[in-house]
Amino acid sequence: MPELPEVETIRRQLAPLVEGRKLKRIEILDPRWSRPLAPKELAEALLGRRIERLSRRGKYLLWSFSEDVHVAQHLRMTGAVLCEPAPEPPHTRVRMELGPVAAGRGVRGDRSAAGRRKRHLVIVDPRRFGTGELLLSSEALEAFFAARLGLEPLDERFTVEHLRGLARGRAAPIKAFLLDQRKIAGVGNIYADEALFRAGIHPLRPAGRLSAEQYARLRETTIDALQAGIDARGATIDDFRHVDGVRGSFQDQFLVHRRAGEPCGKCGTTIVKMVVAGRGTYVCESCQPRPRRRVRRR
């Protein structure tokens, strides 16, 4: 699944190609993508509007159009946005045609020779889980995200005190806690494994029972893992691609994720795979000691 670094990679690559352009045509081939709206309803709300900004919130790609109209796109497990692929790949769910960049659009948008021609984008998604949600005001946009997302680790407000406050009293495993988007936005399976390994914390340790030092370490390693993923332009395990179809490279830097049966790079202990919060989880149980069971007294 594309996580924060993968979506941020797409945003950085796509923003200069689309900002300042009008949506001339949109063809929604799969009605599941636009639910609860019918494809025609979503298309009519967007046609002719200029893309003012392409941003990101957590794992969402946020398209902001003129007159305070927005689309919150979630790529889910296998979604990708490709620019002018040739030939068009299978599993295309949405086609978009953008006009040239308008003159005098300021610093955003591609105003080179390439900017004076149309752009063709496709959204592909083999598993068909991705969505595009229409939001008709800034207030609706904020309410949409407030109900779904907590702070991102890259947000300056994501302090150690904030993390400790979120985890206080939580008996769920710390891995499950990191994956809860309502508490921490943008962290998925890959980066939770990598952050926990760097912090030396076992994924089964209860979220509310970390020490002050462990919370501080976890905050730092979560930020480090996400930033490493951004610097490597994401991780490609199965379907993730850049807008030009190129694969990410963070998978070549994994310290623990998907390395079951291999020796730990720190201590040489064999990395094991287990299931935590319903997700395949990778851990070195020497560097990340398993929590001891608490014995209840009668």
DSSP, residue by residue, 180-228? -TTTBSS--HHHHHHHHHHHT--TTSBGGG--HHHHHHHHHHHHHHHHH
- pTM of the prediction? 0.90
CA 8, 10, 15: angle at the middle one, nearest 5?
Answer: 95
Q: What is the pLDDT of residues 30-72, one digit of tens each?
A: 999 999 999 999 999 999 999 999 999 999 999 999 999 999 9
Confidence of residue 239 (pLDDT cuts 50, 70, 90): low
Cα 142 to Cα 16, 149, 159: the distances in Å are: 24, 10, 22
Host H or E run for residue 160: helix 160-167
pLDDT at position 2 is 84
* pLDDT tens-digit readout, 94-114: 999 999 997 665 445 555 555
184-213 average pLDDT score:
97
Length of the chain: 298
Q: Is the pLDDT of residue 248 over 80?
A: no
Q: C-alpha dihedral over 149, 154, 156, 159, to 10 degrees? A: 80
Higher pLDDT, 294 or 28: 28
Work out the pLDDT band at 237, boundaries 50, 70, 90: low
- The pLDDT of residue 102 is 76
How many of the other CB atoms lie within 10 Å of CB of 195? 25
Task: Determine the average pLDDT of the residues in 177-181.
Answer: 97
Q: Tell me the catalytic residues.
A: 2-3, 59, 279
High-pLDDT (> 90) share of the chain, %? 80
How far apart CA 288 and CA 19 sit, in angstroms, is 45
- Non-local (6+) Cβ contacts of 14 within 8 A are 54, 81, 83, 243
The burial class, CB within 10 Å (0-12 / 13-18 / 19+), for 81 is buried
Q: pLDDT category, 78, cuts 50, 70, 90? A: confident
> What is the SS3 assignment for 27?
strand
Our measurement of the distance from residue 41's CA atom to the centroid of its chain's CA atoms, rounded to an integer in Å, reads 27
Flag whether pLDDT at 115 surpasses 90: no
Statement: residue 141 has pLDDT above 60? yes
Q: What is the pLDDT, as a whole number, of residue 107?
A: 42
State the amino acid at position 104 in one-letter form: G
For residue 173, the Cα-to-chain-centroid distance in whole angstroms is: 22
199 CB burial (10 A radius; 0-12, 13-18, 19+): buried
Average pLDDT over every residue of 242-248: 71
Q: pLDDT grade, residue 168 (50/70/90)?
A: very high
CA distance 290 to 277: 16
When pLDDT is averaged across residues 62-88 and rounded to a whole number, the result is 94
pLDDT at 194 over 80: yes
Question: Is the model's pLDDT at 227 over the cut of 90?
Answer: yes
Side-chain-facing half-sphere of 228: CA atoms under 13 Å: 18
